[in-house]
Amino acid sequence: MRFILSITLFATLLISSVTAQQKIEWMNWNEMVERQQVEPRKIFIDVYTDWCGWCKKMDASTFVDPSVVATMNESFYAVKLDAEMKDSITYNNMVFYNPNPSGKRSVHTLAASLLDSRMSYPSFVILDENFTRLHILAGFQKVPQLMGNLLFFGQNQHLRYQQYLQQQQQRAEAAQQQAAKQ
């Protein structure tokens, strides 16, 4: 009986540790800023609301996919940002706040700033290590769509793509100059 109890306990601990590893390490804005000062990473921000059904679907489906979880935890600081939160956030000598915290669907100024006031939920913002916005994704994302973006930005493919575009532009300009000389 003790053997069976030991095996059951071991299996339970093993399953719970595997399950714990398969979750995105979500944090709030201030936690991310503190971690960013110690170890800079790209930042993935999930801008959501409590009443958003598609936001809940993302949490229950895409955000529990093992490849999304692994990529997010390895390459990004993942931030949950309630677009209607009541608390103020001070960052970079600016105070972001909800202008009408008791009002219904009043948008926090940090969420509006990150999304250029194009409020739709869920929306996701990818920032680089210097807090420069790289990309905004609006709407529910299936695993392949989200993984493409996480890998593109997480592995700095966006920088290689920019270099490629610059090279193509330089070649086109050189060809135009050559043609003008003839």
Between the alpha carbon of residue 144 and those of residues 20, 24, 151, the distances in Å are 23, 17, 10
Q: Is the pLDDT of residue 123 over 60?
A: yes
Q: Is the pLDDT of residue 98 over 70?
A: yes
Question: What are the structure tokens assigned to 36, written together?
Answer: 């960013």
Strands (E), the chain: 26-27, 42-48, 76-82, 89-91, 94-96, 123-127, 133-138
Question: What are the structure tokens assigned to 2, written together?
Answer: 């003790």
Q: Tens digit of pLDDT for each residue in 28-84?
A: 999 999 999 999 999 999 999 999 999 999 999 999 999 999 999 999 999 999 999
Sequence ranges of the domains in the chain: 22-181
Q: Tens digit of pLDDT for each residue in 124-144?
A: 999 999 999 999 999 999 999
Per-residue pLDDT at 14: 44
Per-residue pLDDT at 147: 97
Per-residue pLDDT at 16: 42
> Distance (Å, rounded) from C-alpha 76 to C-alpha 9?
34
CATH for 22-181? 3.40.30.10
Question: What are the structure tokens assigned to 108, written together?
Answer: 């926090």
Name the nearest CA neighbour of 24 among 124, 107, 129. 124
